[in-house]
Amino acid sequence: MKLTRFVLAAAIAAACGSALAADPITQRQDVFKDYKKTFGTMGDMVKGKTPYDKAEFAKLAAHMEVISKQPWQYFTPGTDKGKTGAKAEIWSKGAEWKQEISKHEAATAELAKVAATGDLAAIKPAFGKVGQTCKSCHDTFRKPD
Ligand code: HEC
């Protein structure tokens, strides 16, 4: 039954939150695209480019905390080749890579906590700290555009 197979495939794709058989490079890049959108929207509020909305900001910060745990599983061996900005150092400097990830996850969790209070004066430095972890990791492990 073609239809049944289609429905099943759609259900699996929905459960995975991504297309079937997507390669790990695309999967991690998709998470980083979500990072860009989410963190960018938050940045606009922090900088006052858009009005600060406490509930919306807290929601975005909570989402950041969730996705901050997601890209790393897709850095599987051999995926330094192909259409990727990932440097081979990810695999040769594993300890340093893991450290960048844990700094990033900790800063993101802290930002979500502070965002829930709605105290913009405290949110600004917490936001900046997360941004530093993006930069710090990119400086070492991501190829320049
Ligand atoms: C622990 C390391 C690390 C951290 C932390 C990190 N990134 Fe990245 N990021 C990478 C690597 C590696 C790539 C390249 C992925 C690829 O092309 O396979 C990347 C790619 C990206 C991309 C390009 C995605 C695309 O379209 O191909 C964006 C945008 C991005 N990161 C944003 C962010 C933001 C914003 C943060 C912080 C909130 C962040 N990253 C934190 C390592 C990191």
Please determine, for residue 93, whether its predicted confidence score (pLDDT) is greater than 60. yes
pLDDT value at residue 18: 45
Please determine, for residue 60, whether its predicted confidence score (pLDDT) is greater than 90. yes
Atom of ligand 1 nearest to the CA of 90: 12
Query: Is the Cβ–Cβ distance between 129 and 111 less than 8 Å?
Result: yes
Q: How sure is the predictor about 9, in pLDDT bands with cuts at 50, 70 and 90?
A: low
Atom of ligand 1 nearest to the CA of 85: 17
- Domains in the chain, start-ordered, CATH in brackets? 23-141 (1.20.120.10)
> How far is Cα of residue 37 from the mean position of the Cα atoms in its chain?
10
Return the residue matching tokens 């860009």: 36
Please determine, for residue 27, whether its predicted confidence score (pLDDT) is greater than 80. yes
Residue bearing the bigger pLDDT, 20 or 142: 142
Per-residue pLDDT, averaged over 20-33, amounts to 90
Please determine, for residue 44, whether its predicted confidence score (pLDDT) is greater than 60. yes
**138 annotated ligand-binding residue:** yes
d(CA 38, ligand 1 centre) in Å: 13
